[in-house]
Structure 1
Amino acid sequence: MIKETADTDPLAVARQTLLLEAEAIRGLIPQLNDDFNGAVRMLMECRGRVVVTGIGKSALIARKIVATFNSTGTPAVFMHAADAIHGDLGMVQPGDVVLCISKSGVSPEIKVLVPLLKSFKNPLIAMTGNKSAYLAIEAAYVLDTAVSREACPNNLAPTASTTVQLAMGDALAVSLMRLRGFTGEDFARFHPGGTLGKQLYLRVGDLAARNARPRVPADAPLQEVIVEMTEKRLGMTVVTDDRDGILGVITDGDLRRMLNGRTDWQQVRATDIMTIHPKTVEAGEMAVTALALMREHNITQLVVVTGGTYTGVIHLHDLIKEGII
């Protein structure tokens, strides 16, 4: 069995690791300068794509930055620095801007790649922890991601350095989003299949349209109410006037309470057992708004209206099926 010490206790090591990486990110703030502004403007004015490249762990960070750029309105592609000098350099097109990520800035692959990029006349932005490195010297703008030490106890494995690279990539992406006026609706267009996207584009009316629209008139007898609720399978029915105005709702709970409290069932009409002033939601509202209302009032369904007119029902199960919850 391994004997734990102050240097090996997992919680202590984890806290120290996170502290070192948090301090490394905080250290980026004073390292930001006019080069960051210049890099953002260059990316903003790019008429092609942002080609993000790197080697080793930096290549993995580059892939994530590409994903973030693409999902926030900045077209980007990943190019591995080693593969670039063996044929993949062909993906770099006129008008593209290259963002090259390297902690040292002097990796052999980087030193071969940079002159080739410059011969193509593609603007080059460097993200490196060494401002005097070859990569930094050759770049139009340098994003300084130097760290005082790695979180690795041997100060060797890329940990704090890759964390700050990732954070710097986010800073670029968010700056570009602000400049473009990138909205939640824009985000949803790029994420139509995901939960986040659905929260931003899926509306109440989209879900209500899939459900039956149970309704009975105010003078409907109890038998008609039960048949409507059973056939429409939503556990409720809306009581409406002849213009689809909402008078109230009847739920399974209303029926149970009625059966417990009276015996003259043949005389019962919809208006006798309905709940007036039911909770409603406009068809044009976002589905997440309906969820918030259900949670607030501890209910599982809402009457959907369009300008005060009854148009359908949305149920908690609809939101669950879409992954909104």
Structure 2
Amino acid sequence: MNKSVLEIAASTIIAEQSAIGQLVNKLDAEFEKAVDKIHHSLGRIVFSGIGKSAIVAQKITATFNSTGTPAIFMHAADAIHGDLGMVLADDIVVILSKSGESPEIKALVPLVKSMGNCLISIVGNVDSYLAKQSEIIINSYVEKEACPHNLAPTSSTTAQMVMGDALAVCLIELKRFSSGDFAKLHPGGSLGKRFYLTAEDLYKQNATPNVLPKSDLKTVIFEISKGRMGATAVTSENNKLKGIITDGDVRRLLEKSDQLSGIIAQDILSPNPKTISPQTLAIEALELIKNHDLSQLIVIDDEEHFLGFIHLHDLIREGII
């Protein structure tokens, strides 16, 4: 009986999972030596490979750069046609290969060694030409590809990527690379915004609905509707925050009372709203909103003057959520 699509997919995942699991037993003094060498390098890390290994090398290069270890990618085929010129004296060259016997790799290796650069290999065959010529060998051997014909690079390229990630994470720890450092290298992404976007960046884009304590109910409703924050601040004559009235407060009032004449803001305000300073990080504001099941927060200065609102929608728009 033929296997179903789901059975084939499951067997592929199980095969690659098994291959990754066996890599733990291949972590040795050579891996430690590689981490130490890269950690103390004065140059960059030049990743290279051919075929699918080259694609994995590009991914590892990107991971290194984004986590504070300068790296570049050099395709093995292009290297022997001029790109070798990008390798500087203090750079470390890391070559990825399953077999370690590809013609392009065999052509590249002696050139790298003649330049005096340290050569590290992430290789699936520790008896190969590449391994024997390397100063440091990281063993990425897998018993079998997930491909049913044991031909298409599947488990082997996954193993290479995992070893590259293991190197990168070790370096993150050794360099004490923090979330703040990560943010500096990702200023345009939603991840980076979590560490630099503040309430001040957000509230200035919004309306500032506010009423006085003696404002009538009609004024309160108008201000909530006009401001589109789902609430209005209640402030004193000198702009000191007295409380908040949300659209929910107004709805509950309308449900409970038939006599609305004479009701003023002071009668229905919540006197202790959740507030933040302009310097509060957006990610901290999000936690406050989540923990207290809110839709908005009021921004105040050190003297409790009302500055504005930030809304849950602001955080969604900026990709913080």
Q: Distance in 1 between matches of 2:19 and 2:111?
A: 32
**Equivalent residue for 2:63?**
68
**Equivalent residue for 1:317?**
313
Q: Distance in 2 between matches of 1:122 and 1:243?
A: 69
C-alpha RMSD of the superposition: 1.9
Are residues 17 and 45 of structure 1, via their aligned partners in 2, closer, same or farther at CA, if it must alter by over 3 Å? same
From 247, 254, 263, the counterpart of 2:259: 263
- Cα deviation, residue 213, structure 1: 2.8
Percent of matched pairs sharing the same residue: 50
Which amino acid counterpart does residue 324 of structure 1 have in structure 2?
I
- Cα deviation, residue 17, structure 1: 1.3
User: What TM-score, normalized to structure 1?
Assistant: 0.91
1:77-92 matches, within 5 Å, as: 77-92=72-87
Q: Distance in 1 between matches of 2:103 and 2:213?
A: 82
Which amino acid counterpart does residue 168 of structure 1 have in structure 2?
M
Q: Distance in 1 between matches of 2:260 and 2:9?
A: 70
**Equivalent residue for 2:18?**
23
From 111, 114, 127, the counterpart of 1:116: 111
Q: Distance in 1 between matches of 2:202 and 2:303?
A: 18
Q: Extract unaligned runs of 5+ from structure 2.
A: none
Find out whether 1:240 has 2:235 as its counterpart.
yes
**Equivalent residue for 2:95?**
100
User: What TM-score, normalized to structure 2?
Assistant: 0.92
**Equivalent residue for 2:200?**
205
Q: Distance in 2 between matches of 1:308 and 1:114?
A: 67
Q: CA offsets, 1:91-145, max 9 Å, x none?
A: 1112111110001111100000011111111111110011111111111110000
Which amino acid counterpart does residue 51 of structure 2 have in structure 1?
G
Q: Distance in 2 between matches of 1:53 and 1:17?
A: 27
Which amino acid counterpart does residue 232 of structure 1 have in structure 2?
G
Secondary structure class of the residue paired with 1:137:
helix
1:279-318 matches, within 5 Å, as: 279-307=274-302, 309=304, 310-318=306-314
From 41, 48, 52, the counterpart of 1:46: 41
Q: Distance in 1 between matches of 2:266 and 2:18?
A: 66
Q: Distance in 2 between matches of 1:74 and 1:317?
A: 36
From 135, 155, 161, the counterpart of 2:130: 135
Find out whether 1:169 has 2:142 as its counterpart.
no
Secondary structure class of the residue paired with 1:200:
coil
Q: Distance in 1 between matches of 2:135 and 2:238?
A: 68
24-33 or 220-229, which moves further after superposition?
A: 220-229
- Cα deviation, residue 276, structure 1: 2.6
Q: CA offsets, 1:194-219, max 9 Å, x none?
A: 12112232223321232233333322
